[in-house]
Amino acid sequence: MAPAIAGASGGGDAQQKKDIWSLILEQKKGAGKARGAGDLPDSHVYFVGAVRGGKSTLVSRFLNPDKEEEPRPGQGLEYTFARRSSAAAIDKKDTAHLWELSGGPALSKQLADGKHAFLPITAIPTAVVVIVLDLSNPSGVLDTLTCWLNKTQERLDTCYRLLERKGSKLPEQLRARAKQRFGSEHEDADAVQHSGVPIVIVGAKYDAFMNADPEVRKVMARTLRYIAHSRGASLIYTGGLGPQPPASSQPEEAVRMRATSKAALNALRTVLNHYVFRTAPLKIVEVDHTRALCIPAGADRFREIGRPKGGSSSADLQAGLSEWRAIHTAVFPPPPPEVTEPQWKLDRDKYAEPEVDSVLMQLQAGDRKAEAEGQEESSKGVPVQR
């Protein structure tokens, strides 16, 4: 565990203030000494991506890999948690909070743009973002990936600016940690955009895409590899996670797919467990576009991915991204515009509730005050796990 980050010095009362993370650390440190061991701070995993793309299934199978029942579709912001026996103390359990952002584009945008639902500032040091792509709808893959990569970076940039204005070194240390995890000696380390938060890109429903023309699968694989590598993200294909008939009643190809699905799920669980519970990292790498991709962050290279027009792949990152986006769009034309979600309107004057409105105004004022105090306290930094 890395030492806590020192915040900016200040005069007067500012020197006496301690951010909430420092207080939590002190309490945990004292409790750890009493037991002879320390604790890991809770992790926060955010599952985002395509509507009906398989997010709920991935959450369910991460928690219970042997459960094949199809979970109910998520609605709005879904929450659950995972616990694992702590490596530091046999009588303790480490906790990961799992959040799923579900619903249509408008609802997902509202949740992602909120300050508390998606990547709140206090969760960033131990956050992981899982972007789920629906390979059964290849035309929508690029838009979904671009949308959530941008939303993630925008949210992080906002939090980083708030911290840096207070003199915090947390953003700098998170980026340094990300580069170290990626591989500081990696040939592409300086070309990659290290956001500071682990990103895992999941190509779900691979079983619906695996029989496409090999050249079509190659374009999908190379495009996703290039984008994932440029963001320092992991890329894993999964599929066949729904209910399955007994293996004895399945044809040979289906049995092989079942084995592939199990291996892909195990790879994803290994990657997530490494980030949230500090277990061993994934060692398996698969870059063959005719198979289910499995590429942990830092295991790929621009020169191995290549570019449609040739040239040095890492010399001009944006040019490479543009080339792969162009060829991907040509092979997988964008889908027709989605039907606009109904906009419900309420006549507030007709159904006025003064007492409720008064309480709401008080809560909003309290939230603004708490957020301002939180930004002041967070500026002194939080512990960063290595």
Domain limits, the chain = 40-338+369-378
Average of per-residue pLDDT values in the chain: 82
- Band of pLDDT at residue 70, cut at 50, 70 and 90: confident
Instruction: Write the pLDDT tens digit of every residue in 103-115.
Output: 777 777 788 777 7
More confident residue, 278 or 358: 278
Q: What percent of the chain has pLDDT over 70?
A: 75
3-state secondary structure of 379: coil
Of 157-161, 191-195, 306-310, 323-327, which range is least confident? Answer: 306-310
Q: Are 376 and 165 in contact (CB under 8 A)?
A: no
Q: Read off the pLDDT of each residue in 254-272 and give the average, rounded to a whole number.
A: 89
Helix (H) / strand (E) element for 236: namely strand 234-237
What's the pLDDT at 164?
96
What's the pLDDT at 11?
44
Q: What percent of the chain has pLDDT over 90?
A: 56
Strands laid side by side in the 43-49 sheet: 77-85, 93-101, 43-49, 127-134, 199-204, 234-237, 294-295
**Measuring CA to CA, which residue among 52, 51, 98, 49 is closest to residue 78?**
98
Helix axes 141-165, 317-331, angle to 10 degrees: 150
Instruction: Write the pLDDT tens digit of every residue in 269-324.
Output: 999 999 999 999 999 999 999 999 999 999 999 999 999 887 666 668 889 999 99
Of 91-95, 121-125, 237-241, 379-383, which range is least confident? Answer: 379-383
Distance linking the first and last C-alpha atoms of the chain:
6
**CB within 8 A of 386, min separation 6: which ones?**
1, 2, 177, 180
CA distance 75 to 352: 28
Of 15-29, 35-49, 72-86, 279-293, which range is least confident? Answer: 15-29
CA distance 62 to 365: 38
Q: How many CB atoms lie within 10 A of CB 65?
A: 14
More confident residue, 101 or 247: 101
Domain over 40-338+369-378 is classified CATH 3.40.50.700: no
Please state whether 381 falls in left (phi above 0), alpha (psi between -120 and 50) or beta.
left
More confident residue, 332 or 111: 332
